[in-house]
Chain A
């Protein structure tokens, strides 16, 4: 029973365009969501997060949108750069929002072409 799902294993985008990565969840008790970014041979690094009391959080080129009624969140990267090519994981804390016990999605591999 996968509570956090990323149904697109991969995404290819041209440099300068928008990248949209999607994530769905099933547990309506989740109140905090995070995106982690992972380069090959490295561990995931925290990218951006959003609380369920918000529907949008922006940090530079990265914006996360949350649609609670649809149990869906998305990460927008504008404009996309080749250095953004990585695996992106959506995650939610399995307990309270202040826990490192995270439930991850399967990841989406983003390729940004020059």
Chain B
């Protein structure tokens, strides 16, 4: 069974550009989470989907970030326009039930220059 997959693994963009990150959760997992780790610090929660609905988006930094999960399958996280401080590793995680034991993807390393 495939794990959580994220694409791309790396993205280098210039300040002001737009980037879209994609996450494919484990098949059948209704819960999908986005997290971010900046500069080797703690991993921070961004938002939580249950199927296609946003359950909790309290961790989204600002309105430059837009997450979608149309159809309740894969999810995208768009950053527009990107700023320098958006650099970091963006992790996606999923779970079948409401649980703290999540399955994480390998992350997307975003570098904004």
Contact = CB atoms under 8 A, between A and B. Distances in A.
Asked if A and B are interacting partners, one says yes
Interface of A: 2, 4, 32, 34, 36, 41-46, 49, 89, 91, 93-94, 97-107
Interface stretch (B13-21, B62-70, B80-88, B90-98): B90-98
Contacts of A100: 31, 33, 48, 93, 95, 98-100, 102
B42 interface: yes
A44 B106 contact: no
Max count, chain A CB within 10 A of own CB: residue among B4, B42, B56, B104: B42
Contacts of A94: 45
A43 B104 contact: yes
Contact of B41 (A34, A101, A106): A106
A44 B3 CA distance: 12
A22 to B, nearest CB: 15
Contacts of B44: 104
A38 B60 CA distance: 23
Contacts of A34: 100-101
A102 B56 CA distance: 12
Contact of B56 (A91, A98, A101): A101
A42 B106 CA distance: 4
A46 B102 contact: yes
A105 B97 CA distance: 24
B40 to A, nearest CB: 8
B100 A93 contact: yes
B81 to A, nearest CB: 27
B45 A49 contact: no
Given A100-B99, A101-B59, A106-B41, 18 more contacts: A2-B42, A32-B100, A34-B100, A43-B107, A44-B91, A46-B101, A49-B100, A91-B100, A93-B100, A97-B100, A98-B98, A100-B48, A100-B95, A100-B102, A101-B45, A101-B56, A102-B43, A102-B45
